[in-house]
Each structure stands twice: as structure tokens, then as C-alpha cells.
Amino acid sequence: MRSWFMAVLVYALAMDAITLTRQLVDIESITGDEAAVGNYLYGELCRIGYQTRRMAVEENRFNVYATSPEQPHPAVVFSTHMDTVPPFIPSSEDATRIFGRGSCDAKGIIAAQIAAAERLRRDGIYVGLLFVVGEERDSLGAEVANEYAANQRPQSCKYLINGEPTENRIALASKGTLRVEVTASGRMAHSAYPELGESAIDKLLDALTRLRAMPLPSDPDVGPCTLNIGLIEGGRAPNVIPDYAHADLLYRLVGPSQDLRRQILATAGDSVKIEFPLELPFLRFRTVDGLPTMIAAFTTDVPKLTNWGEPLLIGPGSIHVAHTEGEFIEKKQLAEAIDLYCAIAKKL
């Protein structure tokens, strides 16, 4: 009789995770505008009996942190982010998949973590739930959560199980991020007399050409450091010699950044200004025996959550469809993630 009841309970939690995923996807929460989804999660977690608090970040932005009344200082916390990249895409589903912005990155993960926490609670195991803002841009929510952990609560949390789309494989490591801003200045002139001006765009293009040709480090287990030139802007009009040009670059790190920074500065040259506005370090993670593994080529909030215990990284969904117009999560993976989160928490 008990096995039949547990089977029904597991099925109900999986179905609830599907419903909750769609409800969350249908709440627009592009980075900077997470209040509506945060309020929804706050209300739902209060409704099912969690001690839930809004953790202020800035203006109307806040993280959501929830614990069970039976254990206000849990040793294990499940965490992921509430924000998404643009544009907003409402939810839909077919027999096997849930579609929409955030379905795998990371609203399906939120649903799986809540369902897992509920199943664990019925077994007398109490975990925390931490859902943060700003992961897709600057990890500001994670920074605030880290300050909260340092100042507002006992250091009881031993393990942070962070959720990102890893196809339910546990990550051995994640690449870091180094953002680079390249700015060139020039002098405006009539384009019929280029000798009277100084083209900022020419300077920028020359620097970017050198940076693209620059050899990058590689790790035998993790793979190569990579470069993406994500944004280029500059100039005034086709018939004006441009006095300004700017590019935003992003390197995916496979180790410390000091040597790479020096190499970028030397290669770019003195004709441009180089700034490094953001770095998230390369990390290796704790693993769990018996689970398939992967290397995350992307960066997560984990480097900003150092006060929340030893990190693990695992979640349903594929990073290959995250940030695309066809983003989706497999319903089967969503259900499997609930089992995995429960099993990992029990083992820890």
C-alpha cells in the first residue's frame, strides 16, 4: 500500500512541476524586471508552509529564500536564478516538452527543486530554497545573497546544489568569464578628406584583428579558452570620419586570468583603451559517485555564492537550447531531476 501511495505522490509532484514550470515561464522576468516572478514564488512557498523572505537587492528587485519551519538553518540549499534573457516567450507544451523563455534556463529547474524539497520534507529531510535575480547579467542577486549568508545567518549551510541546464549530468567544472571592453577614440572630419581626421573604427578593427589572432590557453580536461566579440558600436554617419568606437568581448576562462589579462593588454596595443568590468573565475566542483558528468562551458552564480557551502552543479534541460527562440525542457528530464535532487541531498 505504501509503495502505491509513494508512486502516486511521485507522479503528482512531477505533474505539479510541469504546471509550475509553465506558470513561471508565463511571468515575464527579463533581468532587471524580476519582481513579478519573485512575488509569485514568495506567495506559493508561503502557501505550502515555508518560512519565506524577500531578500532586497535594489529598488523592487529581490531574491527569495525559503526554509522549512522544522529546520530554519538547513545544511543543504537548492539554488538557481529567476531572471531570463530577452525576449519574453510565453509557454506552450506538447506530449514531451515544455517550451518558452526560461523553460530550461532556469524556471523548470526552480519547479524541480521545489518539488524535490517537498518530497524530501515528507521524508523528514529539510533543505533550503534560494532563488536569485540577475544571473544573466552581473550576478548581483548572488552577491547580495552571499552578504546575507555572511551577516544574517549561522554558517549552517554545508552544500549548495546550484541548478543550471546540464541535462541532469553533474558538472566537474565550469568555465569562468572575463568581460573586456575595448574603446577607441579619434577625430571627426569630412569623409572626403580623411587625412584631416582620425578614424576610431580603424583603430578598433586593428585591435580586434590582433586579439582574434592571439593564441588562447587550453586545459586538457576542460577544453580551450574561447573569445566572443559580442557587441560593436561606433561612428556618426557614413560621411563622417568616426571619433568613437567600442566593442564588448567575452572570454570563457579555463584557469586563472592574470596572464590572459596581460596578454590582452599587450596585444590590443596603445591605440585603444582596455577595461575589465567583470570576472567570474573558473571552478571545479564536488561530484557524486555514480552520476554521469559534464564540463560546463558557461558561467554560473556559484562563484558569487561562496558563503553557502561547497557547491555542486546539476539541472535538467540543455544549455544548447537555452537563450534560443525554441528554448524547451524535456518533461522526462524534469521528472528525473526531482529524483536526482532528492538522491543527492540524501547522500550529502
Give 266-278 pLDDT, tens digit per residue: 999 999 999 999 8
Q: Which residue blocks in the chain are alpha helix, DSSP H?
A: 2-25, 35-47, 108-122, 140-151, 200-213, 258-268, 331-347
Beta strands in 59-169 (DSSP E): 61-67, 76-81, 92-93, 97-99, 128-132, 159-162
Catalytic residue among 135, 164, 167, 327: 135
Give the pLDDT confidence of 16-28 residue by residue, as tens digits. 999 999 999 999 9
pLDDT band at 13 (very low <50, low <70, confident <90, very high): low
What is the overall mean pLDDT for the chain? 94
Give the pLDDT confidence of 62-87 residue by residue, as tens digits. 999 999 999 999 999 999 999 999 99
Question: What does DSSP say about strands 223-224 and 218-219: parallel, antiparallel, or unpaired?
Answer: antiparallel
pLDDT band at 148 (very low <50, low <70, confident <90, very high): very high
pLDDT band at 153 (very low <50, low <70, confident <90, very high): low
**pLDDT given for residue 5 in this prediction:** 43
Give the pLDDT confidence of 165-178 residue by residue, as tens digits. 999 999 999 999 99
Regarding predicted confidence, which is higher, 296 or 154?
Answer: 296
Closest CA to 249 of 279, 219, 271: 279
Active site residue 330: no
In angstroms, the CA 338 to CA 348 distance is 16
Check pLDDT > 50 for residue 11: no
Please state the separation of Cα 59 from the chain's center in Å. 21
pLDDT band at 156 (very low <50, low <70, confident <90, very high): confident
Give the pLDDT confidence of 290-347 residue by residue, as tens digits. 999 999 999 999 999 999 999 999 999 999 999 999 999 999 999 999 999 999 999 9
**pLDDT given for residue 15 in this prediction:** 59
In angstroms, the CA 24 to CA 39 distance is 11
Across residues 130-157, what is the average pLDDT? 90
**pLDDT given for residue 145 in this prediction:** 97
pTM of the prediction?
0.88
Across residues 44-49, what is the average pLDDT? 96
First to last CA, the chain: 29
**pLDDT given for residue 333 in this prediction:** 98
**pLDDT given for residue 8 in this prediction:** 45
Across residues 105-122, what is the average pLDDT? 98
Residues 6+ apart with CB under 8 A from 266: none
Give the pLDDT confidence of 221-245 residue by residue, as tens digits. 999 999 999 999 999 999 999 999 9
Q: Is 91:103 a contact under the CB 8 Å cutoff?
A: yes
Distances (CA, A) of 127 to 75, 81, 285: 7, 17, 20
In angstroms, the CA 315 to CA 41 distance is 19
**pLDDT given for residue 14 in this prediction:** 59
Q: Is 117:127 a contact under the CB 8 Å cutoff?
A: yes
In angstroms, the CA 196 to CA 190 distance is 8
**pLDDT given for residue 12 in this prediction:** 55
